[in-house]
């Protein structure tokens, strides 16, 4: 018997359905707060984890979502050049304010406001990837093409 999703995970599930995606949010008993924890809980490679990181434009204070392959570190200078604005990692309050989710569970969709999105080109090599779904233990499986479509993200090298 399946259990009902927690409110934040349900919000992501509703957003997926609203936009016509068939993906199913699942909540695991283990935490998926980090890419390594998520990969272990799911049973996939850490590279197949699409981690959502929020950055802040230094001039505009605009929220920028960078979706990176699990082990990759984001090169802030490179992202700043790509966006023509320097960026810095956002703090927890800014992340919650702009997305409605806490760090460790930020999904690629269902945010409080539309976010400019950058997708790590390394994710494109996989048939399927896994993304956070609103809580530190909720995830959903999708294809890189679906990720690009649902976020309207631009693809680039982030490292």
The rounded distance, in Å, linking the Cα atoms of 15 and 22 is 11
pLDDT attached to residue 1: 40
The rounded distance, in Å, linking the Cα atoms of 108 and 10 is 14
Q: Which fold has domain 7-156?
A: YbaK protein (3.90.960)
pLDDT block averages, 10 residues each, the chain of length 159: 83 96 94 88 96 97 98 97 97 98 96 96 98 96 97 97
What is the residue-wise DSSP string for 82-123? HHTS-EEEPPHHHHHHHHSS-TT---SS--SS--EEEEEGGG
The CA angle 54-49-138, to the nearest 5 degrees, is 80
Both tokens assigned to 61? 């204070």
Both tokens assigned to 17? 């359905």
Count CB neighbours of 152 within 10 A.
11
User: Domain coordinates of the chain in residue numbers?
Assistant: 7-156
pTM: 0.95
pLDDT attached to residue 2: 58
How many helices, marked H, and strands, marked E, lie in the chain? 5, 8
Nearest to 115 by CA among 146, 94, 142: 94
């Amino acid at each position: 018997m399946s259990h009902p999703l927690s409110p934040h995970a349900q919000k992501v599930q509703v957003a997926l359905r609203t936009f016509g995606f068939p993906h199913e949010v699942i909540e695991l008993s283990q935490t998926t707060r980090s890419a390594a924890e998520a990969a272990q809980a799911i049973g996939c490679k850490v590279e197949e984890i699409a981690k959502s990181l929020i950055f802040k434009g230094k001039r505009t204070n605009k929220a920028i979502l960078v979706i990176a392959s699990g082990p990759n570190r984001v090169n802030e200078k490179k992202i700043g050049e790509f966006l023509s604005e320097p960026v810095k990692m956002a703090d927890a309050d800014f992340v919650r304010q702009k997305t409605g989710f806490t760090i460790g569970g930020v999904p690629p969709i269902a945010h409080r406001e539309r976010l400019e999105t950058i997708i790590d080109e390394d994710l494109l090599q996989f048939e399927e990837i896994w993304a956070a779904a609103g809580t530190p233990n909720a995830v959903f499986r999708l294809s890189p093409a679906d990720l690009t479509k649902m976020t309207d993200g631009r693809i680039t090298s982030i490292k």
